[in-house]
């Protein structure tokens, strides 16, 4: 079997798998798919519960050698109150993190609960595996006065990896 034929078969297999997996399902990363297209992992950010969270800071560690972050929608779900100069989603390959910072300086209005505030996708290159799916670290939450919230990240911050 030629390499070209192999690639065609693998491509069909991958596309079928993707079509049936649906949004919200974990994508299985097969090493062979590296030949075809970039497999992805998606991380959604949202708040749950009923706390007044006015802002947050967090890091998403990744391996710059095997993962490429797409930040186009990182802040896409933010309300207008939190859009602007003090909302940023920054890929820092030298530190191996994506840093998100969202603030509502001076007003500290509450972020919406239960809706996706944004998401990051990572294109996984050669050498990546399913276990390389990014996590979220160093989550800091600001309360109604802009100072550290009394609630913990575990209580209110929800991260979904797809």
Judged by the rule CB under 8 A, the positions of this chain that interact with other proteins are 55-57, 59, 85-86, 88, 90, 92, 95, 97, 99, 101, 103, 105-106, 140, 142, 146-148
Least Å distance, CB 15 to other proteins, is 37
Output 36 or 88, the one with its CB closest to other proteins.
Answer: 88
Output 94 or 154, the one with its CB closest to other proteins.
Answer: 94
Least Å distance, CB 60 to other proteins, is 12
Least Å distance, CB 100 to other proteins, is 9
Least Å distance, CB 121 to other proteins, is 20
Output 39 or 134, the one with its CB closest to other proteins.
Answer: 134
CB atoms < 10 A from the CB of 42, how many?
18
DSSP 8-class letter at 31: G
Q: ∠ CA 13-17-18 to the nearest 5 degrees? A: 120
**Cβ atoms of residues 66 and 126 within 8 Å:** yes
Kind and range of the H or E run holding 5:
helix 3-21
Instruction: DSSP for 65-100, please give it.
Output: TTEEEE-TTTTTT--GGG-STTEEEEEETTTTEEEE
Output 100 or 124, the one with its CB closest to other proteins.
Answer: 100
């Amino acid at each position: 079997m030629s390499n070209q034929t192999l690639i065609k078969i693998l491509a069909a297999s991958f596309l079928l798998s993707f079509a049936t997996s649906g949004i919200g399902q974990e994508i299985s990363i097969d090493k062979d798919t590296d030949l075809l297209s970039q497999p992805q992992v998606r991380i959604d950010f949202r708040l749950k519960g009923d706390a007044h969270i006015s802002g947050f800071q967090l890091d998403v560690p990744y391996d710059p050698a095997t993962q490429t972050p797409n930040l186009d929608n990182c802040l896409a779900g933010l309300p207008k109150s939190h859009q602007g100069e003090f909302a940023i989603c920054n890929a820092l390959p030298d530190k191996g993190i994506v840093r998100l910072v969202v603030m509502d300086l001076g007003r500290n209005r509450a972020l919406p609960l239960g809706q996706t505030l944004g998401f990051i996708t990572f294109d996984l290159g050669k050498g990546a595996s399913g276990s390389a799916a990014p996590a979220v670290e160093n989550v800091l939450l600001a309360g109604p006065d802009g100072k550290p919230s009394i609630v913990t990240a575990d209580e209110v911050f929800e991260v979904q990896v797809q």
